[in-house]
């Protein structure tokens, strides 16, 4: 009696059954014909695959290395451009500003008390100039926070932060001061600290002239910066 479906030969295995038998993940029945593992063919295909992969590596590896080199060079150029822009911005912010007051006639013939009074007045005038400059920078957007006042202390600092500077020393011609354009006061016991924008002020008590520069300190996370990247104050604002 014929059926509509062709009977399958039980001794012949499908490719998946043969593979399962080779891998020992399936056990064929007793009469099944399992051909031997084609070791030579597998080795030949393996060798051919390794050759193809090796040839591809010869082409791909140099291309990958070249792409990485170009990427590194592109990143280095971008970093250098960013540093150059930052340096130019700092240099613009630190451009020296100058001022002066009328030098009294017969200054050398005045009493010590009168000369000290004139020196104190010159310091106050120079501090007022720094304050006006800081507030102007706020209006232009160069500084963000409103400036309340300016505090200046001698530079280099003394052990007593309240010690006077060159304004109290008639033998000193030049006085250097670190100034803070104060944006906020911080209570600190009997005294109070201040936060704000730093400036360097140099006062010439002989010529009755002064010069100041905004200072850009190194960020705290860069406590040991690369000297090549540090932008120092202009010479006219250094305490030399």
pLDDT value of position 170: 92
Q: How far apart are CA 223 and CA 178, in angstroms?
A: 20
Q: In the chain, what percentage of residues exceed pLDDT 90?
A: 41
> Given 93, 121, 144, which residue is the final one in a domain?
93
Domain total for the chain? Answer: 2
Q: Are residues 89 and 58 in the same domain?
A: yes
Q: pLDDT confidence of 226, banded at 50, 70, 90?
A: low
Dihedrals φ, ψ of 198, to 5°?
-85, 145
Q: Are residues 153 and 213 in the same domain?
A: yes
- Considering the domain boundaries, does residue 4 fall inside one? no
Cα dihedral value 126, 127, 131, 133, nearest 10: 30
Cα dihedral value 78, 80, 86, 89, nearest 10: -100
* Structural domain containing residue 47: 9-93
Q: How far apart are CA 192 and CA 226, in angstroms?
A: 34
Averaged pLDDT for residues 16-31: 68
Looking at per-residue confidence, does 90 or 137 come out higher?
A: 137
Smallest CA-to-CA distance from 215 within 157, 139, 130, 135 is with 130
Q: Are residues 18 and 52 in the same domain?
A: yes
pLDDT at 139 over 70: yes
The answer to whether 210 and 201 are in contact (CB under 8 A) is yes
Q: Are residues 109 and 213 in the same domain?
A: yes
pLDDT value of position 158: 82
Distances (CA, A) of 120 to 87, 150, 195, 199, 208: 35, 15, 24, 19, 11
- Considering the domain boundaries, does residue 149 fall inside one? yes
pLDDT value of position 72: 85
pLDDT at 202 over 50: yes
Q: Are residues 105 and 204 in the same domain?
A: yes
Q: Are residues 46 and 155 in the same domain?
A: no
Please indicate, yes or no, whether the overall pTM of this predicted structure exceeds 0.75: no
pLDDT at 217 over 60: yes
């Amino acid at each position: 009696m014929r059926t509509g479906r062709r009977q399958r030969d039980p001794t012949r295995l499908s490719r998946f059954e043969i593979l399962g038998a080779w891998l020992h993940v399936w056990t064929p029945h007793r009469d099944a014909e399992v051909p031997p593992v084609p070791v030579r063919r597998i080795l030949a295909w393996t060798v051919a695959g390794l050759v193809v992969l090796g040839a591809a590596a010869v082409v791909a590896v140099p291309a990958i290395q070249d792409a990485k080199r170009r990427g590194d060079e592109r990143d280095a150029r971008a970093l250098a451009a960013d540093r150059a822009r930052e340096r130019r911005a700092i240099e613009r912010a630190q451009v020296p500003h100058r001022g002066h007051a009328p030098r009294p006639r017969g200054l050398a013939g005045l009493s010590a008390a009168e000369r000290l009074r004139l020196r104190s007045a010159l310091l106050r005038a120079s501090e007022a100039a720094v304050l006006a400059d800081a507030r102007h920078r706020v209006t232009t957007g160069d500084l963000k926070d409103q400036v309340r006042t300016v505090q200046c202390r001698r530079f280099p600092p003394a052990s007593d932060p309240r010690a006077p500077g060159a304004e109290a020393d008639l033998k000193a011609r030049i006085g250097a001061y670190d100034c803070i354009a104060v944006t906020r006061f911080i209570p600190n016991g009997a005294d109070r600290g201040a936060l704000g924008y730093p400036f360097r002020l140099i006062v010439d008590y002989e010529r009755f002239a002064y010069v100041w520069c905004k200072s850009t300190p190194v960020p705290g996370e860069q406590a040991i910066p690369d000297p090549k990247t540090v932008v120092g104050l202009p010479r006219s604002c250094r305490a030399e």
